[in-house]
Amino acid sequence: MILGVNVDHVATLRQARLATEPEPLMAATLAILGGADGITVHLREDRRHINDRDLWLMRELISCELNLEMAATPEMTDIALEVGPDMVTLVPEKRQELTTEGGLDLRAQRAKLRAAIKKLKDRGIPVSLFVNPEKKDIEASKAAGADMVEIHTGMYANAKGPAAEAELKRIYAAAGHALDAGLSVNAGHGLNYFNVMKIAEIKGLRGLYIGHSIISRAVLVGMERAVREMKGLIGKAA
Ligand code: PXP
C-alpha cells in the first residue's frame, strides 16, 4: 500500500514569516528517504501555503508519485495540464476553511467535475475524487469518469467509541462499493499514528494520504523517522 505524504504544512510554516524557509521540496526529499511512496501538495486558489514555484520544483525533482490536490476550476485544470503531475485529486475548496472540510458535493459540482476529469484524463493524468464514505458518492464518482476515489476518513478520525466504530463501518462499506465499481481506492484525512491501522487493514486499499500527523511528528523527531514510523504501522496492518 502506498503512503503519500502531504507537505503543505511545511509551506504554511514558511508563509507564517513570508520567508524562504523551510523549503517544502527539502521536506519532500526527506520524506522519500524515510519511505514515502508519493508526495502530495494542495495548490489553493489563494496560494496560502504551496505556490506555483513549489509545484514546478516538485515536478522537476520528485521522481515518485506527485499527487496534485486541487479544486476543479479552469485555472487549476490549466496548471495541472501544464505541470503534469502523476495524478490529481479533486477536492472541494473554501477560502475560509482551515483544511479540506468534507468530501466533494458530486451533485452540485457535477458539470465542473466532469469537465475537469475529461481534460485531465485526455492528457493521461489519472484522477481521484475526495469523497465522503457514501455509496451514492462512489456511484457518482464512477459516473463522472474518475479513476480513483479517496475516501474521507476525517469523520472517523474525529469520532470516539461507538461513533468511531460506526464511521469505520461506513468507510469499509464505501471501499467495498468502490472496488466493486472498478475504482482504485485511497483514503485520507485526519489519520495519525493511533488510528491509521484500522484503515490500513481495508482489503484492496491502494494508498493512504497523510499530512498533519506526519509533519507534526517530524517537527520533533525529524521527517525521515516520522515517515518510517508511519510506514511501519501501515505495513503491520496491511
Ligand atoms: N487527503 C485530502 C484530500 C486532503 O485534503 C488532506 C488535507 O490536506 C489530506 C488527505 C491529509 O489530511 P491530514 O493533513 O489530516 O493528514
89 CB within 6 A, ligand 1: yes
Alpha-carbon distance of 105 to 209, in angstroms, equals 20
Residue 98 or 141, more confident: 141
Looking at ligand 1, which atom is closest to the CA of residue 8?
8
The single-letter DSSP state of residue 125 is -
Q: Please state, in angstroms and rounded to a whole number, the distance separating the CA atoms of residues 153 and 191.
A: 7
69 is a catalytic site residue: yes
The model's pLDDT over 149-171, given as tens digits with 9 standing for 90+, comes to: 999 999 999 999 999 999 999 99
If we measure between CA atoms, which residue out of 6, 78, 77, 83 comes closest to residue 37? Answer: 6
> What pLDDT was estimated at residue 9?
98
Q: What is the pLDDT of residue 98?
A: 77
Is 211 near ligand 1, meaning CB less than 6 Å away? yes
Annotated catalytic residue 189: yes
- Residue of 53, 15, 47, 9 lying closest to 31 (CA atoms): 9
Q: What is the model's pLDDT at position 141? A: 98
- From 1.10.8.50, 3.40.50.720, 3.40.50.150, 3.20.20.70, which CATH number describes the 2-126+185-237 domain? 3.20.20.70
- What is the model's pLDDT at position 93? 82
Q: Look up residue 97 and give its three cell numbers.
A: 476553511
**167 pocket-lining for ligand 1 (C-beta < 6 Å):** no
In this structure, the residue with its CA closest to atom 9 of ligand 1 is 189
Q: What local confidence, expressed as pLDDT, does residue 30 receive?
A: 98
* Cα 115 to middle of ligand 1, angstroms: 24
Confidence of residue 177 (pLDDT cuts 50, 70, 90): very high
State which of 209, 214, 216 you would mutate to test the pocket of ligand 1, scoring each by most atoms of that ligand within 8 A of its C-beta: 209
**pLDDT value, residue 117:** 98
Distance 172 CA to ligand 1 centre (A): 19
Name the burial class of residue 39, with classes exposed (0-12), middle (13-18) and buried (19+) by CB atoms within 10 angstroms of its CB.
buried
Q: CA 36 to CA 119: how far, in whole Å?
A: 28
Proportion of the chain above pLDDT 70, given as a percent = 100
Which residues are paired to 38 by β-bridges?
A: 4, 65
Neighbours of 17 (CB within 10 A): 8
Rounded CA separation 194/86 (Å): 29
- In 3D, which of 4, 1, 177, 29 has the Cα closest to residue 87? 4
Mean pLDDT of the chain: 96
Model pLDDT for residues 20-48, shown as the tens digit of each residue: 999 999 999 999 999 999 999 999 999 99
Q: Is residue 42 among the annotated active site residues? A: yes
**pLDDT value for 6:** 98
**pLDDT of 3 above 80:** yes
In one letter, which amino acid is 24?
A: P
Instruction: Average the pLDDT over 90-118 and give the result.
Output: 89
Whose alpha carbon is nearest atom 3 of ligand 1?
A: 130
Q: Residue 210 Cα, ligand 1 centroid: separation in angstroms? A: 6
Mean pLDDT of 4-16: 98
Which alpha helices (H) appear in 21-158, and where do they start and end?
Answer: 24-33, 52-61, 74-83, 110-122, 135-144, 154-158
Q: Helix, strand, or coil here: 207?
A: strand
Q: How far apart are CA 120 and CA 136, in angstroms?
A: 23
Query: Has residue 203 got a pLDDT over 90?
Result: yes
- Which among 42, 49, 152, 177 is annotated as catalytic? 42
Q: What pLDDT sits at residue 198?
A: 97
pLDDT at 97: 75
pLDDT for 28: 98
> How confident is the model over 210-231, as a mean pLDDT?
98
Query: Where do the domains of the chain lie?
Result: 2-126+185-237
